[in-house]
Every structure is written in C-alpha cells, then in structure tokens.
Amino acid sequence: MSKSNWIKYIPAVERASEEMILAILKDGERGQKPLNPLPYMAGVANNLSWLIAYGKSVTDMGGSSFFRGFFDASQQVTSIRWSTHQWTDWVPLRRLFPSVHVTRAIQAKEKRKYYLDKLYDAMVQDIEQGQDVHCIGADVILDEKSQLTKEDVQSVCEGMMQGGSETIAATLSCGLGALATAEGQKIQKEAYDAIFAEYGSAKAAWDAAFREEKVEYVVALYKEMMRQYVVVPQGAGRMTAKDLPFRGTVLPKGILIFMNLEGANHDKEWYGEDAGEFNPKRWLTRENLINDKGNTPHLGYGAGARMCPAWAISNRILYGLLVRIIINFQITHTPTAPPNTHPTQFNVTPRSSVARPGPWGAIFTSRSKGSSLATHETDDMLEVVE
C-alpha cells in the first residue's frame, strides 16, 4: 500500500484503536480487574480490517451481534482448513468418500460467506448512493483500469480480512504477554521512554501513532513479536515454479511445499544463541536484521513473491496500537493466570491454520493519574462513554 493510500485510512484506524483503549479502561476498571486481552485485540483487528477492506465498522454493521457471528464463523473456517489436518490431505483415495470434515468445511465456508456478502453489499450500496467511500474494495471497484470481477474484488477484501482479523490479534496478545512478565517490565519502560524521547508528550505520541514509525524501539518491538510468536507456523502451501536445489537434493518443479516459518524464526545460526528469547534489542544492534532492503527480517509474513500482501498495513497497525497501548497502560499479569510466553508452545489450537494464544489475566494499569495530556483526553472520553 502506498503512502498516499494509507493516509486515507488513518482516521478509521485511529477511531477503532480509540474504541479499544476506552473498552480496556472501562472493563478493566483502570487496572483493578484482570482481562483476557485476546478478545480486545480481536475486536480492534476486526474493526480495522472491516474499515480498511469495506469501509464499514462493527457499529455500522449492527454492533456486537454481527461481529460475534462473523468471528465465530471465521474461527470455524480456520479450525478445519489447515492443509495437514486430515488423512484426506495425504491419501487422495479418501477424497472420493464423503466425510464429516468436508461437510463441516462447506458449512463453515457458507456461514462465513454470509457475513462477507453483507459487508460487500453494504459497501456497494454506499458507492451507488454517491458516498465518498475510502476502502480497498471501493478503490478497486472505482479504478477504471481494473478488470477485476466481483469475485476478484471479494477475494482481495477477504485476504485483508483473514490477515487482520486473527493474525494481528494473536500477535498482539502474545506480545503483550511477554511485556507483562517480570522481564517485560524493563522492555515496557524502555519503549515508554523511547516514545517520550521522540515526542515529548503522550498527546503528541497519540496523534502520530498511525502516521509515522519514528520510534525505532517500537519498530523493534513489533518485529520481535512477529519473530518470536509465529501465528501461522507453516504458512500456506506453495507450488515450486522451478527445480530448487536443497541440501544435496533437488525439489522438482510443480510440487507443493510448506515452509517451517516457526523454525526459521528461531534459527540460532541467524538470530544467535538467544533465538528462543524475547529480545527486541536484537533489531537495534545487528545491521543485517534492521535493514529490510532486499531481505525479509523475519518470516512472520512468509517469504518470497507470495508473502502476505498486507505486511505493510499490518506493520503500521501493530506500531500504532503498541504506541497507544504503552502510553496509556502499564501491563502486568495476575499470579494465578500468567501468559504462556513459550515461543512454540503458546498455541492452544495446534490443528488450526492460525495459532491462538490461551487466555491469561492481563492487568492494564492506567497511566492517566499523571499529567499526560493524551490520558487526560482519554479520561474525558471515558466519562462520556460511561
């Protein structure tokens, strides 16, 4: 996504993230009540995905009931669509016989399609009514040079929805878990100090969060979250376009391969002996890791020509959300419900295509007791909400 296109989506992204901060403030009673962060991260990720893909927020589509239906349908799809889940993925003969797996897959896909069609139709209706719609779907539809069909446009929007609705939420929930530990308190302070060193006030940092990525420590932080917690461990299957030499043999053209993204992101030969540890500073000290030109710094988005097409959007969203969360909260966890911060064992749905961290008790202690201008504004907004 170009810089000029991203600017159009900033107001929507800012609105969705503000709603998340307010919800955490209210539901967590300013740090008095523990929360499982995943639903809040999923809520803002879905809201952002809908706004960017279709120009529609959760509120626009009827609120929590529509969102819950969509979220449940999406979870059903990812829970059964993993490429190595069933024997039918390995034994072609079994595909000749009907199975419960196939039936469930068809039902889940149709259920999810119902919600996607509703979003698409609402976007098209706004366009036909002459409204100024800023979203990826509208940009494609209104592009006179585009030869894409309705199905093609829906596929583009679905790609953004899939990436945003689950992967961003899982990455943030895992990453916040790492920050909530005793070791993570130091990382939080360093990130907080780096933000204020750049902007001087929470108000300035809040306003700039989604408009630039000036704080290198926060950039390093989201890169480390993406590296340490791989939420699509094997990526999607890829067909080889040519014969590929590999460890003394040749992978022939036309075969399906899966990349061990989780293993690659924890390769000690590349990342060092601390590859299994959560250490954002690795991105600040090694030139070959912080320089993205020509090389992918990590494989959280996959690799090659078929890597996640929304990586640039996702980076901006992760950066902006982290800035706004860190300037508003200090994050810890309850003694009885700590996060699972193991880099490869955090996933409670190993049979799904997208990893999901388990629930944990996050304490979001509000920083608004100080003189921060941004949190003063948040206080005022919270009073309105209440």
Give the CATH number for residue 161: 1.10.630.10
| Residue 371, pLDDT above cutoff 50 | no
* Distance from C-alpha of 155 to C-alpha of 149, rounded to nearest angstrom: 10
pTM of the model: 0.83
For residue 31, the enclosing domain spans 3-385
Mean pLDDT lowest for which of 21-25, 70-74, 200-204?
70-74
In the chain, the number of structural domains is 1
* Distance from C-alpha of 198 to C-alpha of 216, rounded to nearest angstrom: 10
Question: What number of residues does the chain have?
Answer: 386
Q: Is 302 left (phi over 0), alpha (psi -120 to 50) or beta?
A: left
| Residue 62, pLDDT above cutoff 50 | yes
- Give how far the C-alpha of residue 90 lies from the chain's centroid of Cα atoms, to the nearest Å: 30
Strongest mean pLDDT among 34-48, 61-75, 287-301: 34-48
| Residue 196, pLDDT above cutoff 60 | yes
Taking the CA atoms of residue 257, residue 258, residue 259 and residue 262 in that order, the dihedral angle to the nearest 10 degrees is -170
Pairing of strands 249-251, 244-246: antiparallel
pLDDT band at 385 (very low <50, low <70, confident <90, very high): very low
Q: What is the pLDDT of residues 217-270, one digit of tens each?
A: 999 999 999 999 999 888 777 888 899 998 899 999 999 888 889 999 999 998
pLDDT at 206: 95
pLDDT, the chain, mean: 83
Averaged pLDDT for residues 369-377: 46
* Distance from C-alpha of 361 to C-alpha of 180, rounded to nearest angstrom: 10
Share of the chain above pLDDT 90, in %: 42
pLDDT at 283: 92
Strongest mean pLDDT among 37-46, 319-328, 369-378: 319-328
Contact 328, 375 (CB under 8 A): yes
**Can you tell me which residue has the tokens 């003969």?**
93
Q: Tokens standing for 178?
A: 């790492």
| Residue 102, pLDDT above cutoff 80 | no
pLDDT band at 110 (very low <50, low <70, confident <90, very high): confident
* Distance from C-alpha of 297 to C-alpha of 292, rounded to nearest angstrom: 6
pLDDT band at 320 (very low <50, low <70, confident <90, very high): very high
Mean pLDDT lowest for which of 18-32, 154-168, 264-278?
154-168
Burial 162-181 (b: 16+ CB within 10 A, else e): bbbbbbbbbbbbbbbbbbbb
- CB count within 10 Å of CB 355 equals 23
pLDDT at 379: 46
Averaged pLDDT for residues 96-102: 64
Contact 223, 280 (CB under 8 A): yes
Strongest mean pLDDT among 140-149, 256-265, 329-338: 329-338
| Residue 19, pLDDT above cutoff 50 | yes
- CB count within 10 Å of CB 269 equals 7
